[in-house]
Amino acid sequence: MTDACTVGFIGFGNMGQAIARGLVEAGTLDGSQIVACAAHWDKLVETTGAIGAKALHDAKEVVDAADIVVVAIKPYQIETVIKPLVADLAGADKFVVSIAAGWTLDRFETMMGEMSELIHLQCTIPNTPMAVGKGVLVTEDDNTLTDAQRAEFERIFGSIALIERVDGEHMDIAMCIAGCAPAFTDMYLEALGDAGVKYGLQRATAYRLAAKMIEGVGALYLATGTHPGAMKDAVCSPAGTTIRGVASLEESAFRGSVIRAVDAIEQG
C-alpha cells in the first residue's frame, strides 16, 4: 500500500466521522481518499462533504472502492451487512478494521467460516478524541494482517491515537476504560466548570481551565510514567488547600464511585 490508499467506512455515525475527521485534520489522508456509506443518504452526503470525502450508496460499493475497510456499523448489524460481503473482502489487496464493541477475531472467523482464511482483519475499539488526534485505539493482539498491512495500520491510525494492544479476553474492559470513561471525564469537566461558575468564573473560562488541566495530567503521566498517586502527592502540600479537596473526595468515595461505574458497565 501507498500513501494514496483509500479508506472506506461501512457506517458513518459519530465514531466513524470522528476517525475520518481526525485523519483529515492530521493530514494523514486527504478527504478524497475516504469513502463511506450509511443508512441515511442526505445526512451522509452532508457529513462526507464536510471533509471532502465521497458518499457511496451501499457497503458493496465501499468494499470495491477501498483498500482499508472500516466496519463502523452497530454490532448487531454486522452479521446482516458483512456476511454477504465475505467473498469481496477476501484477498491480499485490502484489509478490514472493525471498530465494533464485542466483535473479536474469533467471532468474525466463526461468522465468516472457511473464507476467513483469506481475509485480513484487525479488531479495534476507538474513542471519540481521535477526531482531534488525541484518541485511544484499543487493538486486539490477535489479527490476520500481513507485516506490510500491520505497518500501514500503525501509520494511519497511529497518527491520531495511542494504539494499545490487548488480548481478546480484555477487549471489553479496555473499551470501558478508553471508550466509555470519556463520558465520566466529561461529567468531571462539567462539574469543575459548575464549581468555577459558583465562585464567579465565566463558564467558558472554567471549562478551558479544566479541559487543559485534564489534558495536561494525562500528558504528564504518559511522558513520565509516574504513579498517579505520586503525581497527586506532589500537588498536596502539608496542611495545604489541595489536600483538603482530596480528603473531601475520599469522604465521598470518589475512587470507589469510579470503580463502581466500571462495574456497572462490565456486569450489566
The tens digit of pLDDT for each residue in 103-124 reads 999 999 999 998 889 999 999 9
Whole-number pLDDT of residue 115: 87
Note whether 70 and 42 are within 8 A (CB). no
The tens digit of pLDDT for each residue in 168-199 reads 999 999 999 998 999 999 999 999 999 999 99
Whole-number pLDDT of residue 250: 95
Domains of the chain by residue range: 7-166, 175-267
Query: Cα separation of 117 and 195, whole Å?
Result: 56
**DSSP states of 18-44:** HHHHHHHHTTSS-GGGEEEE-S-HHHH
| Architecture label for domain 7-166 | 3-Layer(aba) Sandwich (3.40)
Q: What is the CA radius of gyration of the chain?
A: 21
Query: Cα separation of 126 and 250, whole Å?
Result: 31
CATH code: domain 175-267 is 1.10.3730.10
Binding residue positions? 10-15, 72-75
pTM listed for this prediction: 0.88
Whole-number pLDDT of residue 212: 97
Binding residue positions for NADP(+)? 10-15, 72-75
In this prediction, the residues of the chain whose per-residue pLDDT falls under 70 are: 1-3
Cα–Cα nearest to 145, from 68, 260, 236, 63: 68
Amino acid at 153: F
Whole-number pLDDT of residue 258: 95
